[in-house]
Amino acid sequence: MSSGLNLAQLEAVNHLGGPSLVLAGAGSGKTRVITHKIGRLIQAGLAPERIAAITFTNKAAAEMRERTKQLVGRPAQKVLICTFHALGVRLLRADGAALGLKPQFSILDSDDITSLLKDCGASTDLAQVRQWQWCISGWKSAGLNAQQALAAAQNPEQQHCATLMAHYEERLSAYQSVDFDDLISLPLKLLRLHPEVCEKWQKQMGHVLVDEYQDTNASQYELLKLLVGERARLTAVGDDDQSIYGWRGATLDNLKRLPQDFSALKVIKLEQNYRSTGAILRAANHVIGPNPKLYPKTLWSELGEGEPVRVSAADHEEHEAERCVARIQGLYAQSAAPQWRDFAILYRANHLARVFEQALRRAQIPYSVSGGQGFFDRAEIRDLCAWLRLLANPDDDPAFLRAATTPKSGIGHSTLQQLGNFASQYKLSLFEALFSHSLAAALPARALAALHEFGRSVNELQYRARHTLGFEAARALLGEWLHDIGYEKHLHDSADSAKAASVRWAHVLDFCDWVAKRCGGPLEDGSAAALPSERKNLLDVVQTIALLSTLSEREQDQNVVTLSTLHAAKGLEWPHVLLVGVNEGLLPFKLEAAPDQDADAQQVLALRLQEERRLMYVGITRAQRTLAVSWLKRRKVGRASVPGQPSRFIAEMALDQVSTRADPREQLRALRAEFAQRASEQAALKVAAHNEVVQAIARAIKVP
């Protein structure tokens, strides 16, 4: 089971008797270590259901689950492999009653939270509401409740936000709902306040493995400590050089605290890289070198020196994009088995993607953009999905809350709070409670009438959807529904401008067409609908709405060039990486120091620079075979064009040679000519080899 592991990996896999910290450098095989350690634990006699492997994304959990299944077979099905938030849901579903939560509590998404905070703070200023949301999330990540946040508030704005947080928490409780931060903070509260529950879960968790440990926040660390208890059967796998999420609460202090809290901690370093060439790793090691080290390490590889890292200066953004496209075309033409998925263009911020999208479209190169907002993440699409989810499952309380308040239909937060209390008392979903005969005693007549009207509209829409077949009928019904609920007017009332409302309405129409086409049947032009070929009723299609969330993940498997932010690229790799916009002010991002800054402000600035350096390091180590880095001589800031300076990180790469690049068209012609010449030479060699074989055969059978 441990074949193919190097000595450091074997040491990590076989350390079963106590806590360990596995410092897994980029590309050093950390997922392999985690899956093999799960197998080793099972081999040593630990029941699979007593093993938990925790990571940060659903995609990472799915990959780990699949690789564990390949390694250990059927027992892998019993291993708990999930995200921190999914673990929190599991704890709360099982024992949340101790905190007053019903098992069917709702989980609100970001837009649901925004709506709640707008009501709590009586504000329509979206920027202000987002600021409240970030502030409250930061307090929850640090393990503070509203009362503690108020005590810690340092200015009137924070005091106001802490007061708002108290109202927000009351609403969540009344709605029997939680937000994503609660999925960590509430399980932590549960284990702290209820020792019997804590003991139950400690017995359940025979060994806990944590991936991307450097990305944990204070609350997640405290939750882990309570789960593993004094026996400390814990394997933390992470890399302090890849800690790039400080802005969302992740803290390197958790790495510092491990040896303090677990005196028997064994530290194991994985320094052999299986991803990148020597030239790429040398640049990465040089870049990360100036950062202070918790646990010094140096990546190395047996993959050979490889091509030198190339650095070039572009005149402006369009020039840089043209150059990138030319490089991709050249490398693609050179490849024996060309694949567009082998290429990635990485940048610091989402807004930098546009010019590369344009250049790729002009060159007719397929691409996808990750790290930005997906179509199904837009607020207007999530609104419609909430309605459709409610048609498919009337017990979906988060969908009920969103649909009942978007657009506004005379149902206020006070009504929903009373409905939530009633539903909780009688253990009903919100939709079931709406039609209860006893509800009239709990609500004013006007509020009850508004709820009943909403319930009737949902039931009627569900009935019509069940009896609506084919594209044309489905599109007509969706159009009538949007008109009846006044959704276009809602967009204009809530948008910052008429143009923004029009763009959002266009998204809505695209979505309705997308749904209607899946009902099948002929389109207006006589052609068949895209999917499926047979006709389905609208309700059947609506019941697959949950699959929408996986669309973006499926897109990543397509044969396309990837455009991605550096943050979104973490954990991924490509044969060829183009790291663009590597300018001061972009990477590192705006680190100007004021001359009169005090020591605390300078310290904050230094910590930000260290995280930006780690971000550059992550970008470099995504590359397997080639890495090209480019910076702009002039770059756009707003509507102005200003002189650009190469990032300090380029000098820190300490490259022996900084390549200067020819005109991209000349470069492409040269690469194509070289490729043609190589192909011609290979063909000539094949002919010569064939002739030699023929002559050898002739000699063997004595043919003159």
- Please tell me the predicted confidence (pLDDT) of residue 306: 93
Residues 488-492, mean pLDDT to the nearest whole number:
90
CA–CA distance, 133 with 130 (Å, rounded to integer): 5
Closest C-alpha to 20, from 231, 237, 218, 250? 237
Domain count of the chain?
5
Query: Which residues on adjacent β-strands are paired with residue 314?
Result: 632
Please, what is the average pLDDT of the chain? 83
> Do 208 and 83 share a domain, yes or no?
yes
Average confidence (pLDDT) over 572-587: 94
The CATH number linked to 145 is: 1.10.10
* 39 shares its domain with 137: no
Beta carbons within 8 Å of 573's beta carbon, 6+ residues apart? 27, 275, 622, 623, 624
Q: How far is CA 176 from the centre of its chain?
A: 27
Q: What CATH number is given to the structural domain containing 478?
A: 1.10.486.10
If you average pLDDT over residues 388-393, what whole number do you get?
A: 81
Q: Are residues 535 and 447 in the same domain?
A: yes
* pLDDT score for 522: 55
Task: Single out the residue in 218, 250, 270 at which a domain terminates.
Answer: 270
Domain boundary among 175, 199, 232: 175
Cis before 532? omega within 30: yes
Distance CA 146, CA 670 (A): 65
Among 549, 582, 607, the domain boundary falls at 549
DSSP 576-626: EEEE---BTTTSS---PPPTT--HHHHHHHHHHHHHHHHHHHHHHTTEEEE
pLDDT band at 616 (very low <50, low <70, confident <90, very high): very high
Domain limits for position 420: 376-549
**The pairing of beta strand 640-643 with beta strand 177-178:** unpaired
- Spatial distance between the Cα atoms of 492 and 528, rounded to a whole number of angstroms: 34
Q: Is residue 673 part of a domain?
A: yes
527 assigned to some structural domain: yes
Q: Is the whole-model pTM more than 0.85?
A: no
Residue 287 domain-assigned? no
DSSP string, 161-217: HHHHHHHHHHHHHHTTEE-TTHHHHHHHHHHHH-HHHHHHHHHH-SEEEESSGGG--
Percentage of the chain with pLDDT > 70? 86
Please check whether residue 135 lies inside any domain of the structure: yes
pLDDT in tens, 617-675: 999 999 999 999 999 999 888 778 899 999 999 999 988 644 434 444 444 544 454 45
CATH of the domain at 261: 3.40.50.300
3-state DSSP assignment of residue 234? strand
Residue 211: pLDDT over 70: yes
123 and 152 belong to one structural domain: yes
- My answer on whether 545 and 642 are in the same domain is no
Q: Where residue 373 falls among pLDDT bands split at 50, 70, 90?
A: low
Q: Are residues 53 and 129 in the same domain?
A: no
Catalytic residues: 30-31, 211-212, 242, 622
Average pLDDT, integer, range 210-214: 91
d(CA 520, CA 522): 7
Torsion, Cα of 191, 196, 201, 207 (10° steps) = 100
Q: Residues 130, 194: one domain?
A: no
pLDDT over 50 at 16, yes or no: yes
Interval 510-530 mean pLDDT:
67
pLDDT given for residue 563 in this prediction: 93
pLDDT at 281: 95
Is 276 part of a structural domain of the chain?
no
AA identity, residue 498: A
Tell me how far apart the alpha carbons of residues 636 and 634 are, in angstroms, rounded to a whole number: 7
Q: Which has more pLDDT, 2 or 585?
A: 585
User: Residue 132 has which token pair?
Assistant: 């409240």
| Under 8 Å between Cβ of 652 and 645 | no
The predicted pLDDT at position 595 comes to 55
Rounded CA-CA distance 364/361 in Å is: 5
pLDDT in tens, 543-571: 655 444 433 333 445 789 999 999 989 88
Same domain for 500 and 386: yes
Same domain, 197 and 260: yes
Full DSSP string of 349-404: SGGGHHHHHHHHHHTT--EEEESS--GGGSHHHHHHHHHHHHHH-TT-HHHHHHHH
Q: Are residues 435 and 402 in the same domain?
A: yes
Q: Quick one: 119 and 57 in the same domain?
A: no
pLDDT at site 554:
39
CB 295, CB 269: distance < 8 Å: yes
Residue 96 tokens read as 């949340």
Query: Positive or negative CA dihedral for 241, 79, 2, 21?
Result: positive
Give pLDDT tens digits for 418-472.
888 888 788 888 888 888 888 888 888 898 999 999 999 999 998 898 888 888 8
Asked if residue 430 is part of any domain, the answer here is yes
Asked, for residue 283, whether it belongs to a domain, the answer is: no
Answer yes or no: is 104 within a domain: no
* Distance from C-alpha of 19 to C-alpha of 400, rounded to nearest angstrom: 45
Domain match, 463 and 402 both: yes
317-321, 491-495, 568-572, 693-697: which has the minimum mean pLDDT?
693-697
- 3-state SS string for 236-270: EEECHHHCCCHHHCCCCHHHHHHHHHCCCCEEEEE
CA 670, CA 682: separation in Å to the nearest integer? 18
* CB-CB neighbours of 318 under 10 Å: 13
Residue 154, CA distances (Å) to 157, 218, 620 in order: 8, 20, 39
Please report the pLDDT score of residue 673 as a whole number.
Answer: 46
> Residue 370 pLDDT > 60, yes or no?
yes
Q: Is 374 exposed, middle or buried (0-12, 13-18, 19+ CB in 10 A)?
A: middle
DSSP for 497-546, please give it.
SHHHHHHHHHHHHHHHHHHHHTT-SB-TTSPBPSS-SS--BHHHHHTTGG
